[in-house]
């Protein structure tokens, strides 16, 4: 047995402690005489597939992760396309809705408004403080498209961190799922005896601000090497707290920046195919967003990079983007607007409110229609027909999660565009057969982006996550397709290659961090790209 000593600081003095040892194999007689590991992998997979409901599969995998994390992550890596939709979208949505009812054991850190003033003491109870490198933090106020789930939102933090481990090899014991319990405005949870959160309405803005300031300061003090991902805060708070903390701590918001980066990547590839079919330059694309919340505006902000990378100014890029919210086209003369919508509000339309999506499409004549509205079936057959009439290869991205909230299905998009649609969704859809060809839907899955971005931030010891680092993750993903994937018309690489993709993205993000001067790992600056990729691969935890 090798004894490993690790240094730590105590009262200003550096000391050594014995590193935690992995458990040894069970002693003779404590397991069956013939327990073949390779057969046991198949046994676990068979047990998983015996469940006839996805929520039951989720519960089984949660138990497996707790009892045998190596087996759990081995299954994830070897059967990525089968297991990802269970531990992430769409099944994680159901798991969050029922979180208080399917709860089995402690997993993660809960900090409630009742802890205000003593958050340091709560954080100190985390059992692996020295190991912590990444946390996903939610307040449960806007989980996917499902609304205010309160403390049930913990399921999303747990799911995201499982993907950090599977997708980028971040060590399981260095992750912290965190749920901030600031109350819930969903009455059915307040009335539910199984609900595990505090039974009060959400606190006001001023009280939340003071709580968040204390929480972030204490997290930084307790975990100086930690990166924090904000997840599923309400729209206004998502923008507010990203802006409030992004230059003080290494934080990013996956709904705003991660979604924007993964959509930009798919759009880069889709736009090239669309322009090749139409003969129009890349700078002529017009993008119509149906949905103007944090995700919609976050994606719109990121897609400005598509135009600036192709030579337009920021102002010219802004004018290629149109927003539609619950009241129709967003434009200045319409009246008062939420702060986050103002940047993309149109000043070149003065007419009456335009609320019908077909009328808006006729006015804008978009090459791309992106849905982030959580309105099921919003892209009707008439809408898809209209997009096909304008464009030889229309770009249609119904990005709302889970599947039941998507603006249209892949089957409908294929049928109403004559198989010419360039399609990516937020949740997975099955491939389609059309006129003897197999057509593959893209999935704008944030899992392509955030694992590599997080790993890079940890390895580079980035003091902040800059816009250039987020853009680098997007460009890295767009460049990650193989020749075979290009030949099949895919917009995103196959998810089964996630470790390889994450390593390449991490390399690109580390270089961006170095260029921005926010990295604190000087030894990585002298490595060649090949050496850096090899270093990243060595750092990935492997089950």
| Residue 142 known to bind ligand | yes
Cβ proximity of 61 and 165 under 8 Å = no
Residue 339 phi/psi, 5-degree rounding, is -55, -40
How many whole angstroms from its chain centre is CA 17? Answer: 36
Tell me the C-alpha to C-alpha distance, in Å, between residue 402 and each of 185, 214, 461: 21, 33, 34
Query: Is residue 175 classed as helix, strand or coil in its secondary structure?
Result: strand
Tracing tokens 């059915």 back to the chain, one arrives at 188
| Residue 243 known to bind ligand | no
91 vs 55: CA distance, rounded Å: 7
| Residue 445 known to bind ligand | yes
Query: Is residue 319 classed as helix, strand or coil in its secondary structure?
Result: coil
33 vs 28: CA distance, rounded Å: 8
485 vs 489: CA distance, rounded Å: 7
Cβ proximity of 290 and 256 under 8 Å = no
Q: Angle, to 10 degrees, between the axis of helix 294-309 and the axis of helix 235-245?
A: 60
What is the Cβ-side half-sphere exposure of residue 237, based on CA atoms within 13 angstroms?
21
| Residue 152 known to bind ligand | no
Angle, CA of 109, 222 and 195, to the nearest 5° = 15
Q: What does the chain come to in residues? A: 543
Q: b/e for 98-124, b at 16 or more Cβ within 10 A?
A: bbbebbeeeebbbbbbebbeebeebbe
Tracing tokens 């069956």 back to the chain, one arrives at 32
Rg (CA), the chain: 24
| Residue 334 known to bind ligand | no
Q: Which residues are catalytic?
A: 88, 160
Residue 460 phi/psi, 5-degree rounding, is -80, -10
Query: Is residue 425 classed as helix, strand or coil in its secondary structure?
Result: strand
| Residue 253 known to bind ligand | no
- Binding-site residue numbers are 142, 231-232, 255, 401, 445
- Binding-site residue numbers for a divalent metal cation are 231-232, 255
- Binding-site residue numbers for (S)-malate are 142, 401, 445
């Amino acid at each position: 047995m090798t004894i490993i000593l690790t240094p730590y600081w105590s009262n200003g003095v550096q000391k050594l402690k014995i590193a935690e040892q992995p458990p040894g194999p069970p002693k003779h007689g404590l397991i069956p005489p013939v327990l073949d590991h390779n057969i046991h992998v198949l046994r676990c997979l068979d047990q998983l597939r015996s469940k006839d409901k996805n929520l039951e599969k989720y519960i089984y995998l949660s138990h497996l992760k707790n009892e045998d994390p190596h087996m759990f992550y081995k299954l994830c890596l070897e059967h990525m396309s089968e297991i990802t939709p269970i531990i992430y979208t769409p099944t994680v949505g159901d798991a969050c809705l029922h979180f208080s009812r399917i709860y089995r054991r402690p997993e993660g850190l809960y900090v409630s408004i009742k802890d205000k003033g003593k958050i340091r003491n709560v954080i100190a109870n985390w059992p692996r403080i020295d190991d912590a490198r990444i946390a996903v933090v939610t307040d449960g106020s806007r989980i996917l498209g499902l609304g205010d789930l309160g403390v049930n939102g913990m399921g999303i933090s747990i799911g995201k961190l499982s993907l950090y481990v599977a997708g980028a090899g971040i060590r399981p014991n260095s992750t912290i799922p965190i749920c901030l319990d600031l109350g819930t405005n969903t009455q059915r949870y307040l009335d539910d005896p199984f609900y595990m959160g505090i039974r009060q309405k959400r606190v006001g803005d001023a009280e939340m601000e003071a709580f968040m300031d204390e929480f972030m300061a204490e997290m930084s003090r307790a975990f100086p090497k930690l990166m924090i991902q904000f997840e599923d805060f309400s729209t206004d708070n998502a923008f507010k707290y990203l802006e409030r903390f992004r230059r003080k701590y290494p934080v990013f918001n996956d709904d705003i920046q991660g979604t924007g980066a993964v959509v930009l990547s798919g759009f880069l590839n889709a736009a090239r195919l669309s322009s090749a079919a139409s003969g129009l330059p890349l700078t002529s694309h017009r993008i119509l967003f149906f949905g103007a919340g944090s995700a919609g505006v976050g994606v719109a902000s990121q897609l400005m990079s598509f135009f600036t990378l192709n030579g337009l100014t920021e102002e010219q890029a802004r004018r290629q983007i149109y927003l539609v919210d619950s009241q129709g086209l967003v434009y200045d003369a319409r009246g008062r607007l939420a702060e986050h919508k103002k940047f993309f509000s149109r000043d070149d339309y003065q007419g009456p409110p335009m609320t019908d999506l077909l009328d808006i499409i006729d006015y804008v004549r978009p090459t791309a229609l992106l849905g982030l509205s959580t309105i099921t079936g919003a892209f009707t057959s008439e809408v898809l027909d209209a997009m096909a009439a304008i464009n030889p290869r229309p770009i249609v991205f119904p990005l709302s999660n889970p599947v039941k909230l998507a603006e249209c299905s892949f089957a409908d998009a294929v049928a109403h565009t004559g198989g010419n649609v360039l399609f990516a969704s937020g949740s997975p859809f099955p491939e389609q057969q059309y006129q003897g060809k197999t057509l593959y839907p893209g999935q704008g899955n944030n899992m392509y982006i955030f694992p590599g971005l997080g790993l890079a931030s940890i390895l580079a010891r980035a003091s902040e996550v800059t816009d250039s680092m987020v853009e680098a993750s997007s460009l890295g993903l767009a460049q990650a397709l193989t020749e075979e994937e290009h030949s099949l018309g895919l917009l995103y690489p196959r998810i089964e290659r996630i470790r390889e993709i994450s390593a390449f993205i991490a390399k690109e993000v580390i270089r961006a961090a170095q260029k921005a001067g926010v990295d604190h790992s000087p030894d990585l600056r002298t490595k060649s790209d090949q050496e850096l990729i090899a270093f990243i691969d060595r750092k990935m935890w492997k089950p």
